[in-house]
Amino acid sequence: MTRNLVEEPRFLPISGREKEKLGIDSFDIIIVSGDAYVDHPSFAAAILGRNLWSAGYTVGIIPQPDWQSDEDFLALGTPRLFFAVSAGNVDSMVNAFTPNKKRRQKDSYSPGGRLKRPDRATIVYTNKLRSLFRNTAIVIGGIEASLRRFAHYDFWSDSVRQSILADAPADLLVYGMGERTLRLIADRMSTGDPIRSIRDIPGTCWTMPVAEWKISEQKDFVILPGYAEVRESTVRYAEAFAAHAREQDPIRGHAVAQPHPKTVVIQNPPAMPPDTAELDAIYDHPFARAAHPLYREPIPALEPVRFSVISHRGCFGDCSFCALAHHQGRIVSSRSEDSIANEVDRISRMKAFRGTIQDVGGPSANMYGLSCNLWKTAGGCPDRSCGPDCKSLSTDHGALISLLKRLREMPGIKHVFCGSGVRFDLALADRSGYIRELVHHHVSGQLKVAPEHISPHVLELMNKPGISAFEEFRRVFQENQPEEKKRQYLIPYWISSHPGCTIPDMIDLACYIKRTGLAPEQVQDFTPTPMTRSTAMYHTGIDPETMKKVHIPKERERTIQRAFLRFMDPENAPLVREGLLRSNRGDLIGHGTDALVPPERRETALSGKHHRSSYEPDSTRNNPDRRPSRTRRSRP
């Protein structure tokens, strides 16, 4: 491998002028991203670019290129090895549309929140690059490509689409977290291996012509039902999803293949997660924690995480609606305490820092340091999800308590918060005093929790703990409130319209919200995204794990269910009344203590015009869970 002699710059170059200033004739790798370039470890282009640079490769970034022109794509020249293409930190379709398919007006990952990213950005960027650089290798990755590696249901077109590799003319697809994988690809290409010969790296997908597939040895692959089958049959779609999910194991997993009309998409087994030393090295780079100075407008997505620290990766919660298990994996990898402390020390010396670490966490703040003795030997249990009731899983939060205590006692640090939220069932299973430590020192006034629903059958389909666990956590949370501080509040996430959820289920949830005062600040309506069990249910009406039928709320019912999450908003009253009458729950319409909405006004019924109601839900000022009202924000 040719080592890089160019000193790592404060910001990775995004322009020809910076390239010349660094004395670089041609970059080894050029990253094309749907996000603006922010040099922060929470932004994929920055962490991938820094990791490659430290391995000896020069890296340039083309952030948010104008896909309707050639100029931006040509600005940094031709890379020696390959282009690495990503839609950005967020799926471009999720980023562009609300759950009810209305186009969003802002993009938090763009300067000033302006819209600069195309729909299906990975496909658009890759096709543009292929038209301009016909013989240059292209590798795609990121959350958008990772979750579209096989035929998948697309909510926005209400259809089953081909693998993204059948639409984007890329040579390889990297799925999951790509630092090690991209470096392996670069190392192989530097030693002379053509990109089309690299077919054995874990965590990658590649394609084979149909003619070659027909004469090849197929015994080494788990063969999924083909694209034509899953497009036409919901049963075959559910079967394909279940078969693929079983292979998402870096130790026991097999190569998986799915035929398409013109190509066969092949997935190598998942890559092993990084160990502690590797994860420490990934985050031990000189991140500026700022947007590139060429930007004249702020990047909205930066401020909430600017002084946050990622402590671990992976999530064994395996919620049905979440794709993390298919992207980061179920095995938790934690950084060392020293590595995190060193990062906090660097942050404390920044001029803009005012003493508050906004978050220390990952997919869930309190999975740091947890482990299972089966992860390293078997990749976890093949037939069940991890949980606090499993005897093989360590739920001792001692390592996390030690870390947080060390950080808050460091010079220049006033507060260390856990802003990414906690898994409350794990917190309850801990016996080292984590909840007390959390409430006394690491809650900013509000703590995010995600009970999601209260109906047992809905929670079972979500793969979430029962509401009794949340109730117990709520009780312990209140019991541990420090007397010397202002009262702290729980910020719950509730989901409407999840597969299996009915209007009566939402009525029960609305009554619970009214009784407890745990109203959400923002509506969270289920959005089907590729490669989740919940999305497979939404499309097929079948639970792929049991092959049993599931009720699917769609169209008008989705709108009504969503309204129940904010039943107290006057504009939602007509929809709530409609849902109550559909479910024969007219007893909840009125002015009584149990009522969710007032009766329809006579003048509204006669004129058909909407009049704002003066109705307000019962006062909950004496309810310890009731937080002060504030302007609601739309969920990104």
C-alpha distance from residue 225 to each of 105, 222, 230, 239 (Å):
39, 10, 6, 8
Delimit the domains of the chain by residue range.
16-204, 445-627
pLDDT at 197 over 60: yes
Percent of the chain with pLDDT over 90: 78
Q: Which one has a higher pLDDT value, 249 or 192?
A: 192
Beta bridge partners of 207: 265
Q: How many CB atoms lie within 10 A of CB 106?
A: 14
State the pLDDT confidence band at 295, using cuts at 50, 70 and 90.
very high
State the pLDDT confidence band at 383, using cuts at 50, 70 and 90.
low
At 79-119, the pLDDT tens digits run: 999 999 999 999 999 999 998 899 999 999 999 999 999 99
CATH topology assigned to domain 16-204: Rossmann fold (3.40.50)
Would you state the pLDDT for residue 623?
Answer: 45
The DSSP output letter for 525 is: B
Beta-carbon contacts of 278 under 8 Å, excluding residues fewer than 6 positions away, are 180
- Rounded Cα gap, residues 419 and 525, in angstroms: 22
- Rounded Cα gap, residues 332 and 311, in angstroms: 10
**Residues 198/199/204/208 CA torsion (nearest 10 deg):** 120
One-letter amino acid at 272 equals M
Per 3-state DSSP, what percentage of the chain is helix, strand, and coil (rounded to 5)?
35, 15, 50
Would you state the pLDDT for residue 377?
Answer: 66
- 55 neighbors 178 (Cβ within 8 angstroms): no
Q: Of 193, 201, 216, whose CA–CA distance to 270 is shortest?
A: 201
State the pLDDT confidence band at 392, using cuts at 50, 70 and 90.
confident
Q: Of 207, 152, 454, whose CA–CA distance to 326 is shortest?
A: 152
Task: Please say whether the dihedral angle defined by the alpha carbons of residues 105, 109, 113 and 114, taken in this order, is positive or negative.
Answer: negative
Q: Which of helix, strand or coil describes residue 59?
A: strand
Which strand (E) or helix (H) includes residue 153?
strand 152-154
Would you state the pLDDT for residue 5?
Answer: 57
pLDDT at 128 over 60: yes
Q: Which of helix, strand or coil describes residue 63?
A: strand
Phi, psi of 62 (to 5 degrees): -110, 100
Would you state the pLDDT for residue 380?
Answer: 61
- Rounded Cα gap, residues 168 and 265, in angstroms: 12
Q: Of 94, 105, 98, 101, whose CA–CA distance to 34 is shortest?
A: 94
C-alpha distance from residue 189 to each of 1, 193, 348 (Å):
9, 5, 40
Q: Which of helix, strand or coil describes residue 359?
A: strand
Would you state the pLDDT for residue 605?
Answer: 44
Would you state the pLDDT for residue 216?
Answer: 67
Q: What is the 3-state secondary structure (H, E, C) of 301-329?
A: CCHHHCCEEECEECCCCCCCCCCHHHHCC
CATH topology assigned to domain 445-627: Transcription Regulator spoIIAA (3.30.750)
| Model pTM score | 0.91
Average pLDDT on 256-279 reads 95
pLDDT at 609 over 80: no
The DSSP output letter for 268 is: P
363 phi-psi bin (left φ>0, alpha ψ -120 to 50, beta other)? alpha
Would you state the pLDDT for residue 549?
Answer: 97
Listing DSSP states for 183-226 in one string gives HHHHHHHHTT--GGG----TTEEEEEEHHHHHHS--TTEEEPPP
Q: Which of 65-79, 244-258, 544-558, 595-609 has the lowest mean pLDDT?
A: 595-609
pLDDT at 263 over 70: yes
Q: How many CB atoms lie within 10 A of CB 93?
A: 20
Would you state the pLDDT for residue 631?
Answer: 35
- Listed in sequence order, the DSSP H helices in 466-610 are 467-479, 503-516, 533-540, 556-565, 573-582, 602-607
At 413-436, the pLDDT tens digits run: 999 999 888 999 999 999 889 999
Would you state the pLDDT for residue 493?
Answer: 94
Structure-token pair, residue 157: 């077109």
State the pLDDT confidence band at 484, using cuts at 50, 70 and 90.
confident
At 19-54, the pLDDT tens digits run: 999 999 999 999 999 999 999 999 999 999 999 999
- Rounded Cα gap, residues 414 and 357, in angstroms: 8
- Rounded Cα gap, residues 238 and 236, in angstroms: 5
Look over the chain and give the mean of its residue pLDDT values, rounded to a whole number: 90
Q: Which one has a higher pLDDT value, 365 or 61?
A: 61
State the pLDDT confidence band at 170, using cuts at 50, 70 and 90.
very high
- Listed in sequence order, the DSSP H helices in 349-479 are 375-378, 398-408, 424-429, 434-441, 456-462, 467-479
State the pLDDT confidence band at 629, using cuts at 50, 70 and 90.
very low
Would you state the pLDDT for residue 374?
Answer: 78
- 468 neighbors 476 (Cβ within 8 angstroms): no
Structure-token pair, residue 201: 């790296």
The DSSP output letter for 139 is: E
- Rounded Cα gap, residues 300 and 107, in angstroms: 8
- Rounded Cα gap, residues 374 and 392, in angstroms: 7
One-letter amino acid at 513 equals I
Q: Please, what is the end-to-end C-alpha distance for the chain in angstroms?
A: 42
- 85 neighbors 125 (Cβ within 8 angstroms): yes
Would you state the pLDDT for residue 212?
Answer: 86
